Chains A and B, each alone.
Chain A
Amino acid sequence: MGIQVSTRRARHTLGTKLAPSTVWESRTLPNGCWGVALERPFPVRSPNSRHWISGGSVPDASRGRDREVKPDKKGRLAARLRGWSGPPGPFRPEFWRSPLRGPWLTSVLGLILLAGITAVAITGLVSYAAYEPRLPGNDTTPGRGLLGFYLFDWPTDPVWLYRVTQGVHVVGGLTLVPILLAKLWSVIPKLFSWPPARSVAQAVERASLLLLVGGAVFQFVTGILNIQLFYVFPFSFYPAHFYGAWIFLAAFVVHVVIKLPRVISTLRTYGLRDYLRSSVADTRPEPPDPDGLVAIDPAPPTMSRRGLLAFAGGGSLIMFGLSIGQCIDGPLRRTALLAPHGRLYGTGPNDFQVNKTAASLGVTPALTGESWRLTLTGQHRMELSREDLLAMPLYTYALPIACVEGWSTVQTWTGVRLADLGRLAGIRTGSTGVTARSLQRGGYFGEASLSAAQVADPRSLLALRVNGADLSLDHGYPARVIVPNAPGVHNTKWVRELDFTQEGS
Chain B
Amino acid sequence: MNGHGRWARAYGAPTWHLLALALCFLVAGYAATKVVEVGIWPGFLVWFVGAVILHDLVLFPLYSAADFAARSSTARTPRRRRTAARPPGRRPAPINYLRLPTAFSGLLLLVWSPLILHGAEPNYRAAVGLSTIPYLTRWILVTLVLFAASALLYVLRCLAAGRAGR
Chain A residues with a Cβ under 8 A of chain B: 29, 32-36, 141, 143-147, 174, 177-178, 181, 184-185, 188, 191, 198-202, 204-205, 207-208, 210-211, 213-218, 221-222, 224-225, 228-236, 239-240, 243-244, 246-247, 249-251, 253-254, 257-258, 280-282, 300-303, 307, 311, 314-315, 318-319, 322, 337-338, 340-341, 343, 345, 353-357, 359-360, 474
Contact = CB atoms under 8 A, between A and B. Distances in A.
Question: What secondary structure prevails in chain A residues at the interface with B?
Answer: helix
A204 B11 CA distance: 10
B11 A201 contact: yes
Contacts of B26: 250
Contact of A338 (B93, B100, B138): B138
Given A254-B21, A300-B84, A247 B127 contact: no
In which size bucket is the chain B interface?
35 or more
B93 A302 contact: yes
Contacts of B123: 229-231
Interface of B: 8-14, 17-18, 20-21, 23-28, 30-32, 34-35, 37-38, 40, 42-44, 46-49, 51-52, 54-56, 59-60, 71, 82-86, 93, 95-96, 99-100, 103-104, 107-108, 111-112, 114-116, 119-120, 123-124, 126-130, 135, 138-139, 141-142
Contacts of A225: 114
A217 B52 contact: yes
B13 A224 contact: no
21 contacts: A141-B38, A177-B111, A178-B107, A185-B55, A188-B56, A201-B12, A217-B51, A217-B55, A218-B47, A218-B51, A233-B47, A240-B40, A243-B31, A254-B24, A281-B86, A301-B84, A302-B96, A311-B103, A322-B108, A337-B138, A357-B129
A302 B86 CA distance: 12
Nearest first, the 6 A-B pairs at minimum CB distance are A199-B12, A234-B43, A230-B114, A201-B12, A201-B13, A217-B51
B69 to A, nearest CB: 14
Given A228-B114, A300-B84, A353-B128, 14 more contacts: A29-B12, A177-B107, A198-B12, A199-B11, A208-B25, A225-B114, A235-B44, A244-B48, A254-B24, A281-B86, A318-B107, A319-B111, A341-B128, A357-B128
Nearest to A302: B95
B115 A340 contact: yes
Contact of A235 (B20, B32, B40): B40
Nearest to B75: A302
Contacts of A341: 128
Contacts of A233: 43, 47
Nearest to A174: B111
Contacts of B17: 32, 201, 205, 258
Contact of B40 (A198, A211, A217, A239): A239
The residue in A29, A217, A282, A341 that gathers the most chain B C-beta atoms within 10 A of its C-beta is A217
B126 A254 contact: no
A64 to B, nearest CB: 13
A302 B84 contact: yes
Contacts of B13: 32-36, 199, 201, 205
